Structure 1
Amino acid sequence: MKYLIVGLGNIGPDYAHTRHNIGFDIADELVTQLGGSFSNIRLAYYAEVSYKGRKLHVIKPTTFMNLSGRAVNYYMQELKIPIENVLVLVDDLALPFGKLRLKLKGSSAGHNGLKSIEDTCGGQGYPRLRFGIDDNFSKGRQVDYVLAPFDKEEQLELPALIDKSVSLIQSMVTIGPQQTMTLFNK
């Protein structure tokens, strides 16, 4: 069984460890915990790791958020991974900070990375791990908020939340999405 794990974010030091790049941070920790490393190859940073007999192909698209679908579609086709075995790691303004929610499908909810995947890969039927970043910004300041680093209190909580996200991914690829949703979507 093989999976494509997609951490969403933007490349470059200006975006590193911002709210919008939490998908990259989770992907990094997953690969680190499983003893892998990323290589910069076609359209993405790519790593291949194994977990309990499952092969995990992990990408961090280098196409920038708005064109993430190009990288996802390329790796789905190249690796022959069906859309239901793709898991997208994404920030979510609609959830309180640190809240994790596994969904099997759904709309992009205005998220440009998800919209690109939806448009390029054939719809909304792919699982996603939504990581809550809260919506604590003034009117018209959404872009500044998502492209800013987490505040000091949030940064203290991030390592445990990223670890929990990695555990959720490992659960999904071993016991499946339904049981994982029961365990983690509380």
Structure 2
Amino acid sequence: MNILQKKEKFLIIGLGNPGNLYKKTRHNLGFMILDQISKKYFFSFSKKKLGLISSFMYGDKLLFFLKPSTYMNYSGVAVKYWMTKEKIILKNILVISDDIYLDFGSFRLRGQGGSGGHNGLKNIEKEIETSNYARLRFGIKKNNFFSKKTDSYVLENWKNEEIDYLLLKLDIGIKIIFSFIKNGLQKTMNMFNRH
């Protein structure tokens, strides 16, 4: 047996839409956090089937990072494909998404739940046939959000004055992700959800 096949595997999925048009939008929060991880750990993404993917060893664990290229509404197609291809069990996947109902900069880690109207989460649930997967939601709600339509708000670019605060918060998100990998879901929820 190949030594890599013996390693515990994780699939970390950042949700977003491909292409420069969407790169700086609020809805691409998942892509942004994976890009920050790639800078921190000096790895790059390769164009593969249904997405941009990267992998590296973290201690005794083999991590896969996926940015689906299927557009948000079909994210689940890419998630299902890579889970199946790499034989990654359900408890070792983590989906990162934006959340319009959480205050800007706040995180919530959950082991299951509904989509909250998020089309990416909705499609993942449909494709893998369960809502019992870990998801890390990042709040993008601002005071003026409810005066706008959801679609137009999430597809707006981040404002310049939001970027520094956003990057600071993304660093916390990275700590949550690696705690999930190292310590598991429950312990990580206990550590971070109260903040």
Q: TM-score, normalised by structure 1?
A: 0.96
Letter in 2 for 1:148: E
C-alpha distance in 1, partners of 2:56/2:76?
A: 22
Provide the residue aligned with 2:3 in structure 1: none
Provide the residue aligned with 2:37 in structure 1: 30
Letter in 2 for 1:180: T
C-alpha distance in 2, partners of 1:183/1:137?
A: 29
Rg comparison, structure with higher value: 2
Give the secondary structure class of the aligned counterpart of 2:101: coil
Letter in 2 for 1:118: E
Provide the residue aligned with 2:112 in structure 1: 105
Give the secondary structure class of the aligned counterpart of 2:95: strand
Aligned residue runs from structure 1 range 24-103, under 5 A: 24-103=31-110
| Alpha-carbon spacing, 1:41–1:105, altered in 2? closer, same or farther (3 Å) | same
Range that drifts further, 45-54 or 6-15: 45-54
Letter in 2 for 1:57: F
C-alpha distance in 2, partners of 1:55/1:31?
A: 15
Contact 1:31 1:49 in 2 (8 A): no
Q: Give the deviation of 1:158 after TM superposition.
A: 1.2
Contact 1:34 1:50 in 2 (8 A): no
The question of 1:156 aligning with 2:146 is answered no
Q: Give the deviation of 1:55 after TM superposition.
A: 1.2
Q: TM-score, normalised by structure 2?
A: 0.91
Q: Give the deviation of 1:104 after TM superposition.
A: 0.5
Give the number of aligned pairs: 186
C-alpha distance in 2, partners of 1:156/1:33?
A: 17
**Structure 2: segments with no counterpart, 5+ residues:** 1-7
C-alpha distance in 2, partners of 1:13/1:146?
A: 15
Give the secondary structure class of the aligned counterpart of 2:141: coil
Query: Which of the numbers 118, 121, 138 marks the counterpart of 2:125?
Result: 118
**Structure 1: segments with no counterpart, 5+ residues:** none
Give the secondary structure class of the aligned counterpart of 2:103: coil
The root-mean-square deviation of aligned C-alpha atoms, in Å, is: 1.2
Runs of 4+ residues deviating >6 angstroms: none
Provide the residue aligned with 2:9 in structure 1: 2
Contact 1:63 1:70 in 2 (8 A): yes
C-alpha distance in 1, partners of 2:61/2:52?
A: 20
